[in-house]
């Protein structure tokens, strides 16, 4: 596999493009707006500079990585030669289903169609395509160049051949893939989101303040970030959307989002990206 197309150039999309390009793949990065693509290349360049400054890569690798990424706004062109397409668009079922319907018409019968969704059903996405056996979840973690895990999610129809190819490919990126089945939240968010939700309930009920809760989890459990800081980093709207998927899909009250989280999202306090969440960002 050599030619990879990444759809969506936001935080996850540019990170995925960065990692594939750094490992020698020819990447087509596609988005609806040229400005979004320019911003993505700036971000990738900045992140490559971080790796360069600490000696993790050479300047040659930085230049080769940037050369391996082509950008464009035309989906049909971008997927024309792709052996693997990874969709990393907004976490909205209608948007993702629309993209996969288009991919189904534009791609050949052998193209693997992967989604970086954090919680939308792979089986549901696959059902709108003509090749559901080729559809799979390839869930990277943020920041993609740093985090080792790829959660590989098999939909109901995903074939062994496609699963094995994606597991192998993830290893070529120097990542550790873990194969999981397609149930709400998969594994990562089935476990992570209830912890974040419980941290928000702990704040809501006045058990401790923001710094106190995060310090307990950072220093007591050796987490790199406390759960409230992590929620801000992921985006409170994303956390709420994932909790709703767990609540609706598993039908258990224990997944009900904390009312404080619901209020913060309604107020537009979405975490780092909006300038305020549990913390303030300048």
Closest by CA position to 5, among listed 72, 66, 104:
72
Q: What is the bridge-based pairing of β-strands 26-30 and 112-115?
A: unpaired
Is residue 142 near ligand CAA by the rule CB under 6 A?
yes
Q: Using the minimum distance from each CB to ligand CAA, give the nearer residue, 107 or 125.
A: 125
Clarify whether 18 is annotated catalytic: no
Among 40, 84, 217, 230, binds ligand CAA (CB under 6 A): 230
Do 115 and 86 contact (CB within 8 A), yes or no? yes
DSSP designation for 271 = B
Of 47, 119, 121, 151, which residue is the catalytic one?
Answer: 151
Among 5, 68, 115, 118, binds ligand CAA (CB under 6 A): 118
Is residue 234 near ligand CAA by the rule CB under 6 A?
yes
Measured at CB, which residue is nearest to ligand CAA? 118
Q: Using the minimum distance from each CB to ligand CAA, give the nearer residue, 158 or 229.
A: 229
Clarify whether 139 is annotated catalytic: yes
Clarify whether 151 is annotated catalytic: yes
Tokens standing for residue 6: 């990444």
Closest by CA position to 140, among listed 238, 258, 237, 15:
15
Tokens standing for residue 132: 């559901």
Q: Which residues between 177 and 206 bind ligand CAA (CB under 6 A)?
A: 188-189
The β-bridge partners of 153 are: 137, 180
Q: By rule CB under 6 A, what string of x and - marks binding of each residue 52-71 to ligand CAA?
A: --x-----------------
Three-class secondary structure of residue 133 per DSSP:
helix
Among 95, 147, 262, 272, binds ligand CAA (CB under 6 A): 147
**At what angle are helices 188-204 and 227-234 packed, to 10 degrees?**
120
Tokens standing for residue 149: 């895990």
Binding site for ligand CAA (CB under 6 A): 47, 50-51, 54, 118, 141-143, 145-147, 188-189, 224-225, 230, 234
Task: Return the active site residues.
Answer: 118, 139, 151, 189
């Amino acid at each position: 596999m050599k030619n990879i197309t990444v759809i969506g150039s936001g935080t996850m999309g540019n990170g995925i493009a960065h990692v594939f390009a750094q490992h020698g793949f020819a990447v087509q990065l596609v988005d609806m707006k040229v400005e979004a693509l320019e911003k993505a290349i700036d971000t990738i360049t900045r992140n490559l500079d971080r790796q360069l400054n600490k000696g993790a890569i050479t300047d040659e690798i930085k230049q080769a990585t940037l050369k391996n990424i082509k950008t464009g706004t035309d989906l049909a062109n971008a997927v024309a030669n792709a052996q693997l397409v990874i969709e990393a668009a907004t976490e909205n079922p209608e948007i993702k289903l629309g993209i996969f319907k288009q991919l189904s018409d534009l791609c050949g019968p052998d193209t693997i169609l992967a989604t970086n969704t954090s919680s939308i059903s792979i089986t549901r996405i696959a059902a709108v395509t003509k090749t559901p056996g080729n559809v799979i979840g390839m869930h990277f973690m943020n920041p993609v160049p740093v985090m080792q895990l790829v959660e590989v999610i098999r939909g109901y129809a995903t074939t062994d051949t496609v699963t094995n190819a994606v597991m192998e490919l993830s290893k070529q990126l120097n990542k550790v893939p873990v194969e999981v089945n397609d149930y709400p939240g998969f594994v990562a968010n089935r476990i992570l989101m209830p912890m974040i939700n419980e941290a928000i309930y702990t704040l809501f009920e006045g058990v401790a303040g923001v710094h106190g809760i995060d310090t307990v989890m950072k220093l007591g459990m050796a987490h790199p970030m406390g759960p409230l800081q992590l929620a801000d980093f992921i985006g409170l709207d994303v956390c709420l959307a994932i909790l709703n998927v767990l609540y609706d899909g598993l039908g258990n009250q224990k997944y009900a989002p904390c009312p404080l989280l619901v209020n913060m999202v309604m107020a537009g306090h979405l975490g780092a990206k909006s300038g305020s969440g549990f913390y303030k960002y300048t």
